[in-house]
Structure 1
Amino acid sequence: SREVYTTKRMQRVFAVRFSGDATYVFSGSDDMNVRCWKAKASEQLGIRLPREKHKQAYNDALLERYKHMPEVKRIVRHRHLPAAIYKAAKMRRTVVESDKRKLQRRIEHSAPGSIVVQTERKKKILAQVE
């Protein structure tokens, strides 16, 4: 894909920073490695000819000009993801939707006020440490 990096060792990334010129992204993971990635995965590094720069600028201008068109929007939005990541995200969506549906049905079929609904922000907080 144009902007997606996937490797087997990318499970636990704890720190991410851009380089000073925003060309690279540095990531630190739990296996004590710092990895260096291109900020724009599909961008060519090194010296480019003026003709290449002009062509890239023209293509970017075309995308910006016609980004509202359905055909262009469909192509720009498309991402190729590895099957494992795609299926895991799909499974997670299914689980979250079914949990919401179950909670909604519990609320509908119980006495008013008997089930206290916790907000999404509060659900994320597991414990407070002082």
Structure 2
Amino acid sequence: MSAQTVQPRTAAADRRTVRKVLWVPQILLAVFLLVASGLPKLVGQADAVETFDLIGWGQWFRYVTGVIEVAGGIGLLIPRLAGLAATGLIGLMAGAITTQLLVIEPAWALMPAAFAVVFAAIAWNRRYETRELLQSLKR
């Protein structure tokens, strides 16, 4: 038997491994945001209109939310923008959690909370690219 040496994994290699694992929920969430959440708000699907009537901020807020969801969903699919999109979507989920708890149905706050956890993992994993992107915008 020969002795094999095990090379220690680098932090960059660990990030790449986690990134590969995160692509599955990232793509699924992007499709959800685009197809099941953002577009129904933008086309005025009846339940979306009813929900935003219940919230009480007016239908303009439905359009703003729909645009943010569609933009975030697209951003999640573009590697250079994924971290920034995930960071923004954490804010959107915080608003959704608050709205569910205070206005709509508290039990439904668990879904945006779970989404926020995944977005946080994506944002953390892509923090170096996000930092680079923001620095390039300053130049």
Give the TM interval when normalised to the shorter protein.
under 0.3
Structure possessing the higher relative contact order (Cα contacts under 8 Å, 6 or more residues apart):
2
Greater per-residue helix proportion: 2
Structure with max Cα Rg = 1
More strand by share: 1
